[in-house]
């Protein structure tokens, strides 16, 4: 009887084991093999249209999905996360076009729930807002890498050709903001109280003219700068470099040539051109 009892027990145990290995007929949950993308609507280093109040860029999902999608991004240096809900495909960002403003947006990563979502080609954009073209002058903006208004004064000055020493300020910037703005008037009347001298006059006193970045505080390391010049026709020129360490030093960073316009279009107007030193 004991033998029969053990046999019955073995049969029951075997039946239980077999039944536990039955195939699950339910559909498994797996990631989609189709690839979806998240991209910006525009990319690159852009100069914003200062005649418009705002600039726009969107983060866009290539197709509406039925599950959540997480997007990681950096907005003006701050890491952020957003969730695209099912059916959602776009989020719009608006940046005010204030002169001198710089805004940036970078896509860092993306995760799809049960969907294969990857970053697309357009992953980073920046908007720099320059002054609108001025029919009466050239508009300049000077940025320093510290982002500090008190780091560097910005103006236009005469320097000695032989020594490079400062002689006098020709055009000054009264704004204490960052970036530092300055206007070069086409009528040649400088805000320092006299007409802006042309190349011939400067050469007669062995001088040249240059954009000037003056160390207003002590700097132990070079300070990087970027200067933009916006011409009346909308042309933009860009100059970059470093101001040497120091304090209370006038630094000629970009040469300025001044000629009188003798054409019939702008008689007696001043023609400015810039060159690297």
pLDDT(6) > 60? no
pLDDT(74) > 60? yes
Residue with tokens 């705002």: 54
Pairing of strands 44-48, 124-129: parallel
pLDDT(56) > 70? yes
pLDDT digits (tens, 9 = 90+) for 225-235: 999 999 999 99
Question: 28 burial class (0-12, 13-18, 19+ CB within 10 angstroms)?
Answer: exposed
Q: What is the pLDDT of residue 18?
A: 35
| CA neighbor of 186 nearest in space, from 266, 255, 130, 132 | 266
> Can you tell me the mean pLDDT for 52-66?
96
The phi, psi pair for 217, rounded to 5°, reads -140, 165
**Distance between CA atoms of 16 and 277, rounded to whole angstroms?**
89
Q: What is the pLDDT of residue 219?
A: 84
- In this prediction the pTM is 0.76
Pairing of strands 223-230, 102-112: unpaired
pLDDT digits (tens, 9 = 90+) for 175-225: 788 999 999 999 888 886 678 999 999 999 999 999 999 999 888 899 999
pLDDT digits (tens, 9 = 90+) for 105-148: 999 999 999 999 999 999 999 999 999 999 999 999 999 999 88
Query: Which of 65-74, 82-91, 171-180, 243-252 shows the lowest mean pLDDT across its residues?
Result: 171-180
pLDDT digits (tens, 9 = 90+) for 257-271: 999 887 756 666 889
CA distances from 184 to 15, 19, 52, 260 (A): 95, 90, 24, 14
Cβ neighbours around 123 below 10 Å, total: 15
Q: What is the pLDDT of residue 190?
A: 83
pLDDT digits (tens, 9 = 90+) for 156-172: 999 999 999 999 999 98
**Distance between CA atoms of 149 and 180, rounded to whole angstroms?**
7
Percent of the chain with pLDDT over 70: 86
CATH 1.10.540.10 fits 35-129, yes or no: no
Query: Which of 1-5, 36-40, 159-163, 260-264 shows the lowest mean pLDDT across its residues?
Result: 1-5
Please provide the distance, in angstroms rounded to a whole number, between the alpha carbons at the two ends of the chain: 110
């Amino acid at each position: 009887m004991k033998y029969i009892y053990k046999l019955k027990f073995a049969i029951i145990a075997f039946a239980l084991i077999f039944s536990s290995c039955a195939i699950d007929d339910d559909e498994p949950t797996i990631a989609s093999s189709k690839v979806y993308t998240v991209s910006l609507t525009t990319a690159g280093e852009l100069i914003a249209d200062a005649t418009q109040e705002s600039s726009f860029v969107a983060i866009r999902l290539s197709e509406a999905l039925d599950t959540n999608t997480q997007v990681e991004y950096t907005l003006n240096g701050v890491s952020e996360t957003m969730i695209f809900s099912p059916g959602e495909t776009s989020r719009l960002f608006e940046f005010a076009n204030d002169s001198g403003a710089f805004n940036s947006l970078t896509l860092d990563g993306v995760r799809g729930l049960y969907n294969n979502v990857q970053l697309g080609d357009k992953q980073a954009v920046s908007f720099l807002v320059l002054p609108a073209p001025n029919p009466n002058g050239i508009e300049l903006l000077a940025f320093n890498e510290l982002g500090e208004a008190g780091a560097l004064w910005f103006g236009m000055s005469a320097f000695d050709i032989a020594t490079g020493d400062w002689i006098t300020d020709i055009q000054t910037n009264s704004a204490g903001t960052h970036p530092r703005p300055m206007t070069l008037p086409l009528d040649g009347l400088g805000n320092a109280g006299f007409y802006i001298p042309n190349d011939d006059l400067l050469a007669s006193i062995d001088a040249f003219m240059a954009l000037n970045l003056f160390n207003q505080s002590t700097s132990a390391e070079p300070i990087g700068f970027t200067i933009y010049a916006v011409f009346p026709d909308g042309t933009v020129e860009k100059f970059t470099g470093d101001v040497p360490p120091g304090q209370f030093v006038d630094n000629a960073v970009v040469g300025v040539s001044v000629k009188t316009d003798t054409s019939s279009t702008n008689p007696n107007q001043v023609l400015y051109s810039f060159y690297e030193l």
